[in-house]
Amino acid sequence: MNPRVFTIDEAKTLIAKLEDLLDALVKKKQEMQKKHDQLLVLDLIAGDKIHDYESRDGKEYLDKSAELETLILSFEEDLIKFNQLGCFLRDIDRGVVDFFHVRNNELVYLCWKRGEKKIAYWHDLDSGYNERKPL
């Protein structure tokens, strides 16, 4: 991870990219959960036959496992892209992102949530989203 200190304008320029990355991460997270659930159901239905990779159920299990692995790798690649921006993803589902920022000669976080059009909040390093304050 490459954390850095952002100005408000620098953080603001990332909003569109963050929205796109968060959209992709949320979608992939949902797809991973769906594939995982499908594998659990298949395992429950097929039982020990799931390990017979010549059977229909075994082949399906292998295919779905490979699809899940591909999704996981893609998800991890997106997380790496996110981290390379230098900010901190705090909550994928809510889309909460923090950026290091200097405010009144003190290191704090700028705080942005998916859907917000600008960077409008900050909080101390030892507090979180619920304690954010307007800029």
What is the count of structural domains for the chain? Answer: 1
Q: Does residue 78 lie in a domain region?
A: yes
14/63 Cα distance (integer angstroms): 37
Burial string for 90-114 (b: 16+ CB within 10 Å, else e) reads bebeebbbbbbbeeeeeebbbbbeb
Q: Does residue 127 lie in a domain region?
A: yes
Q: Does residue 1 lie in a domain region?
A: no
Q: Which band of pLDDT confidence, cut at 50, 70 and 90, is reported for residue 1? A: low
Instruction: Please give the model's pTM, rounded to 2 decimal places.
Output: 0.84
3-state secondary structure of 110: strand
Model confidence over 9-36: pLDDT tens digits? 999 999 999 999 999 999 999 999 999 9
Give the pLDDT score at 2.
65
In the predicted structure, residue 3 carries a pLDDT above the cut 80: no
Instruction: Domain of residue 101: give its range.
Output: 8-134
Evaluate whether 99 touches 6 at the Cβ level (below 8 Å): yes
Q: Does residue 2 lie in a domain region?
A: no
Evaluate whether 99 touches 109 at the Cβ level (below 8 Å): yes
Give the pLDDT score at 83.
87
